[in-house]
Amino acid sequence: MFTVRCILATSAKFLASLPAWRHQIKLQNRMSTSPHPVAAVCQLTVTPNKEANFSACKQLVDEAKERGASMVFLPENFDYIGSSREETLSLSESLTGDTISRYSQLARKLEVWLSLGGFHERGHDWESDRRIYNSHIIINDKGDIVSVYRKSHLFDVELPEKGISLKESGFTIPGPSLMLPVQTPIGKVGQGICYDLRFPELSLALQRHGAEILTYPSAFTVATGAAHWEVLLRARAIENQCFVIAAAQVGRHTEKRSSYGHTLVVDPWGEVLGDCGGEKPGMVLVEINLGKVSSTRRNMPVQQHRRDTGFYKSLEKT
């Protein structure tokens, strides 16, 4: 298995200034004789400017396809991060709006699968209650939406000593249910979003229904990211014996909002295969060898050793 760690700024000027570096990456891709599919996991610094954000995402998706990726993962809030509640709501769209239409066209044109990690989707009662879903959308290489998972655990946290005060439920509707893992070119992908990472029940449910890869597109705060990001991702990988893919936001988005970064890919043994760092937009390319999932589960059959659900509820009866 090979891992390529790369930092890409989101301007064509920056990319043009590094022709030798780009050539080296292409050579590494061509030199790989592994039959395993490649996932591209992206890191962004979005702003309220939706057009600029789409341009940055498109550039990364184009690069990923050029380097052999069959599926590209974008982080939570890939479409935008607003500077206020009012702006966040006003910029939101439905699934049939312009933003998702453009990504569907991009997937179809490049014949690549997309994981769109957190879309500001207008709720079904938008005209009456003006609230949104935080929606993780998977689009196949024909441009079709094959799964929409709406974030079920909302980030309502007050940490005054860390300077954190966020109440996602003030304008976001919790999703009604989990979604079955999706069969993709890189394996069966189970969908989560950001704060869902802190709830192992979710990942276990996805694993029980066949997930080989868990994905947590995120926009972690700097304080919580530094404290918990990597250890939580590695824990989810180890306990479920799955690959974990976590595309992330990085840097300053607005005057009041910054993200931790460190887009990560972790294997079923808990080894970090790629890390985009905590400073710039970028992308990591990783070959996904599902044989590592099966061998890890065979050698340490954790799921076979798990007791029935009644056993774990036995304390409730005491």
Is 151 a known active-site residue? yes
Distance CA 288, CA 115 (A): 16
Among candidate residues 63, 65, 76, 188, the one labeled active-site is 76
Among candidate residues 42, 65, 151, 276, the one labeled active-site is 151
Is 242 a known active-site residue? no
Distance CA 290, CA 98 (A): 35
Among candidate residues 6, 42, 57, 194, the one labeled active-site is 194
The answer to whether the beta carbons of residues 7 and 22 sit under 8 Å apart is: no
Q: How far apart are the first and last CA of the chain?
A: 49
Distance CA 266, CA 286 (A): 10
Is 58 a known active-site residue? no
Show which residues are catalytic.
76, 151, 194
